[in-house]
Amino acid sequence: MNGSTPQVPGTYVFDAAESRRARALNRLCGSLKEAENREKFKADEVAYCETYGLTVQQRDAVLRRDWNRMMELGGSIFYVFKLAMVDQRSMQYLGGVFTGMTTEEFAQALKAGGRSFG
Amino acid sequence: MDRGKTEDPYWKPLFDGYAPAREWMARHTPDIAVVVYNDHANAVDMSVTPTFALGTAESYRVADEGWGSRPVPAVTGAPEFSDHLVNSLIDASFDLTVYQELDVDHGLTVPLSVYCPDPGERWPCAVVPLLVNVIQYPQPTAARCLALGRALGEAIRSFPEDLKVAVFGTGGMSHQLAGARAGLINQDFDRMFLDAIEHAPEKLAALTREQYIREAGSEGIELIMWLIMRGALGPRIRRVHETYHVPASNTAAGMVLFENLSR
């Protein structure tokens, strides 16, 4: 992360430096917007990761669907969500994963007006 | 809307809130809508991140975002009007990126669906997409967005033909999709924003990007796009309708409709 990028606890601020660090990961996730790529990925996830030049950490996070780790490695939520969509997971499912809640608990927290901080 | 969920109990209050605005718009159909929006990693990948960009195409395809294209019509452009905006805005020192070809994603089509949920074969008006980078820091400042909006308003008013033009400022209100603060909703901030966008846009333009991220969440910074819409309006405006609802999935959703009374 660049020195001038805001640091907000509990918040990933995606910047150009993060974009560079996680380029392979985000490119792979972004490629999944194409139907034929989704098929290729599902057919052989490891080989697909190889094609996109993922680091070992990025690859393991993708294969394990470790959503928190993908974010720590610089994933952009808009890219990472495309991988979640391949698994038919919703943004509210991811919200639950990021906050240690079930999807239902997370959805309920939103329905009750959202989570408040400070 | 495009997924037929308007009567679903979860979504109904959100869509019902839009109805009065839609009725007003039905009586004031624009010739062209300038839609200020952000792409969500569909047409624009992060090889290139234009801060501000304008579409100049005859038409725009609806993007496949990962589950096939949304079942909505392709978007008809207004190329001559776009060319005029590009020239005027670059002359006014806003260095826009120009897209001759652009697939438009839900950032653009959902606001159109809010306006017109059942468009049939075609949308009711031509569209000019104005893209803003709100995803990758540094986004443009809020002040720069308001200034761009003012220049956009001048550009629209200087077009030689007498057209009715709508400007849609889009973007979710407070929300954050990832991290431990995921699910953040700051209703106080949103309500302040909904009020100030009419009376005190300079106050919103003075907020730093860090303040938007802290108060409205990492994705709540999308609100800066509303300031482009606000800037494009003249000094005399009338608030026709507003609505605010939580939640729309992970975000707070608000809408405000202004009629421009200045010429």
Residues A50 and A108 in one domain: no
Residues A72 and A24 in one domain: yes
ipTM of the complex model: 0.96
Residues A30 and A60 in one domain: yes
Q: Encode pLDDT of B215-234 as tens digits.
A: 999 999 999 999 999 999 98
Mean pLDDT of A38-58: 97
A13: chain B residues, CB-CB within 8 Å: 137, 213, 218
B138 and A111: CB-CB below 8 Å? no
Q: If pLDDT is split at 50, 70 and 90, which confidence band does B262 have?
A: confident
pLDDT of residue B70: 79
Residues A78 and A92 in one domain: no
Mean pLDDT of A20-38: 95
| Residues A100, B33: Cα–Cα separation, whole Å | 42
Residues A67 and A105 in one domain: no
Residues A14 and A68 in one domain: yes
Residues A14 and A57 in one domain: yes
pLDDT of residue B1: 67
Q: Return the percent helix, strand and coil in chain B, to nearest 5.
A: 35, 20, 40
* The model's pTM: 0.96
Residues A18 and A75 in one domain: yes
Calculate the dihedral angle through the C-alpha atoms of B169, B223, B63, B166, rounding to the nearest 10 degrees.
Answer: 0
| Residues B76, B123: Cα–Cα separation, whole Å | 8
Residues A105 and A74 in one domain: no
Residue B245: is its pLDDT beyond 80? yes
Split into its structural domains, chain A has a count of 2
Residue B21: is its pLDDT beyond 70? yes
Residues A82 and A37 in one domain: yes
Q: Encode pLDDT of B176-186 as tens digits.
A: 999 999 999 99
Q: B28, B40, B84, B106: which is the annotated catalytic residue?
A: B106
- Residue position matching structure tokens 């005859």: B58
B186 and A91: CB-CB below 8 Å? no
Q: If pLDDT is split at 50, 70 and 90, which confidence band does A61 have?
A: very high
Which residue range(s) make up the domain with A57? 1-87
- Active-site annotation holds for B106: yes
Residue B235: is its pLDDT beyond 70? yes
More confident residue, B41 or B194: B194
Chain mean position to CA A4: 23
Residues A24 and A43 in one domain: yes
